[in-house]
Amino acid sequence: MNNSIKVKVFPKFTKGYKEGYPLILKERMEKWPKEIQEGDIVDLIDTNGHFIARGYHGKQNKGDGWLFTWDKKVELDETFFTNLITAAMEKRQFLFADESTNAFRIFNGEGDGFGGFTADYYDGFLVIQWYSVSVYSFQKMILEIFLSLPEIKGIYEKRRFQEDKQDDFVAGKEATFPLIIKENGINYATYLDDGWMTGIFLDQRDVRRRISEDYAVSKNVLNTFSYTGAFSVAALFGGASKTTSVDVAGRSLSKTKEQLEVNGLDPSEQAIIVEDVFHYFKYAARKQLTFDLVVVDPPSFARTKKVTFRAAKDYPAMLREIIDITAPNGTIIASTNYAGFGMKAFKKLIAEAFQTSDRTYKIVETHSLPADFTVNKNFPEGNYLKVLFLTLDI
């Protein structure tokens, strides 16, 4: 184990840390030691010098490390990680037991007791995402534990702390791609070795399920920011009459075709449009096209040649354009993964969009992260996903 360094917490933050707040923020400390290095063990102490909790120092996009125990006797060793991973696997037994689904998150950082890495299961293969150099120093130990599990055949990783693209096969057996996974009986083609994204966003599983269960029958569906068209496929399984998928990335055409084909669906019967959605909204309005169900799941920040989109600022204006091409009594599924605001603020942005419209709406469903993306109850801001199903009254 690396050095252990005692750090004193400002009195006003002591209570929060004692109660389980897991993120180490150096501005909450009386003095942040100059000599501290990535991967060092940090013992937080109160003004009287009493132990509060133990963590590791690792700079991430947010924060300066994660606490992992409130018990002075616990050390960061193989036993610790084995217990942690065993407990995380147990929590997902309901998913391992579900024959219609074989891709889901099996370790969700601080939600499973140790911030800094996540692990997603794709039918026997893992994708681990490492968020700091220091968490990467535990890589070997963590890989060995995962590989010793009968469920895991091979492991891929993405080093999020590196600027340039860093993703690799790292251990066990290699998969062949596309790796076809199953989610609620629907196939999705995935590539675990091709950049940050794998072909499917596992955190939207419940939303895809609800679309196919209750929102798609006979509907003309518009899927914007569609990526590989996963929402379109879910809608077709739910009985949609037609889907139109719009994404600006050139890859989205072949990727969406592939998602349809691996389910025996004919891509030539669906519209797959490679275009900036903001242009498409104008085109659809001009042509007076309307859709019964519109799904909108933009990135938090996106820049194309002509348009810069920031969820925090531009969501209402975008939604306003969507309202105009939504059929009478239609449904809009509005989603955001922007961690900078919560559900309340998101609802406000939605209300703002309708203020300038003569249409009114009801929120009929609210979703955040699914159960396998476990949220730490002392760190609710880790629940970044917000999805609202809105039905229009007219």
Task: Give CA–CA dist 244/334, Å, rounded.
Answer: 16
Question: Minimum distance between the CB of residue 280 and ligand SAH, rounded to whole angstroms?
Answer: 8
Nearest CA among 109, 160, 110 for reference residue 132: 160
Contact code string over 53-82 relative to ligand SAH, x by CB under 6 A:
------------------------------
Question: Minimum distance between the CB of residue 180 and ligand SAH, rounded to whole angstroms?
Answer: 16
Number of residues in contact with ligand SAH, rule: CB under 6 A? 20
Question: Minimum distance between the CB of residue 360 and ligand SAH, rounded to whole angstroms?
Answer: 26
Q: Please identify, using beta-carbon distances, which residue of 43 and 314 lies nearer to ligand SAH.
A: 314
Q: Does 230 bind ligand SAH (CB under 6 A)?
A: yes
Q: Does 247 bind ligand SAH (CB under 6 A)?
A: yes
Q: Does 217 bind ligand SAH (CB under 6 A)?
A: no
Is the Cβ–Cβ distance between 208 and 238 less than 8 Å? no
Q: Please identify, using beta-carbon distances, which residue of 337 and 383 lies nearer to ligand SAH.
A: 337
Of 145-153, 261-269, 274-282, 369-377: span binding ligand SAH (CB under 6 A):
274-282
In the three-class reduction of DSSP (H, G, I as helix; E, B as strand; rest coil), residue 221 is classed as strand
Q: Please identify, using beta-carbon distances, which residue of 129 and 226 lies nearer to ligand SAH.
A: 226
Q: Please identify, using beta-carbon distances, which residue of 183 and 297 lies nearer to ligand SAH.
A: 297
Q: Does 248 bind ligand SAH (CB under 6 A)?
A: yes
Q: Please identify, using beta-carbon distances, which residue of 57 and 367 lies nearer to ligand SAH.
A: 367
List, in order, residues 6 or more apart from 316 with CB less than 8 Å away. 349, 350, 352, 353
Beta bridge partners of 293: 221, 331
Q: Which residue has the tokens 């990467």?
A: 136
List, in order, residues 6 or more apart from 282 with CB less than 8 Å away. 321
Q: Does 274 bind ligand SAH (CB under 6 A)?
A: no
Q: Which residue has the tokens 């204006």?
A: 317
Question: Minimum distance between the CB of residue 267 and ligand SAH, rounded to whole angstroms?
Answer: 16
Q: Please identify, using beta-carbon distances, which residue of 221 and 248 lies nearer to ligand SAH.
A: 248
Task: Give CA–CA dist 8/356, Å, rounded.
Answer: 51
In the three-class reduction of DSSP (H, G, I as helix; E, B as strand; rest coil), residue 314 is classed as helix
- As given in the structure block, the two tokens for residue 28 are 């909450």
Contact code string over 90-109 relative to ligand SAH, x by CB under 6 A:
--------------------
Task: Give CA–CA dist 68/63, Å, rounded.
Answer: 14
List, in order, residues 6 or more apart from 391 with CB less than 8 Å away. 329, 330, 331, 361, 362, 364
- State in Å, rounded, how far the first CA of the chain is from the last one: 63
Is the Cβ–Cβ distance between 236 and 207 less than 8 Å? no
Q: Does 227 bind ligand SAH (CB under 6 A)?
A: yes
Strand order in the sheet with 242-247: 271-274, 242-247, 220-224, 291-296, 326-336, 386-392, 361-367
Q: Please identify, using beta-carbon distances, which residue of 73 and 306 lies nearer to ligand SAH.
A: 306
Q: Does 277 bind ligand SAH (CB under 6 A)?
A: yes
Q: Please identify, using beta-carbon distances, which residue of 28 and 386 lies nearer to ligand SAH.
A: 386
Q: Report 169-208 residues binding ligand SAH (CB under 6 A).
A: 201, 204
Q: Does 143 bind ligand SAH (CB under 6 A)?
A: no
Contact code string over 355-394 relative to ligand SAH, x by CB under 6 A:
----------------------------------------
- Of the candidate residues 43, 174, 193, 276, the single one contacting ligand SAH (CB under 6 A): 276
Beta bridge partners of 105: 120
Q: Please identify, using beta-carbon distances, which residue of 76 and 277 lies nearer to ligand SAH.
A: 277
Contact code string over 284-303 relative to ligand SAH, x by CB under 6 A:
-------------x-x--x-
Question: Minimum distance between the CB of residue 309 and ligand SAH, rounded to whole angstroms?
Answer: 6
Q: Does 112 bind ligand SAH (CB under 6 A)?
A: no
Q: What are the contacts of 205-209 at 24+ separation with CB within 8 A?
A: 205/101, 205/104, 205/370, 206/367, 206/370, 207/231, 207/333, 207/335, 207/367, 207/387, 208/183, 208/184, 208/234, 209/184, 209/234
**Residues at the site binding ligand SAH, with contacts judged by CB under 6 A:** 201, 204, 225-228, 230-231, 247-249, 252, 276-278, 297, 299, 302, 304, 307
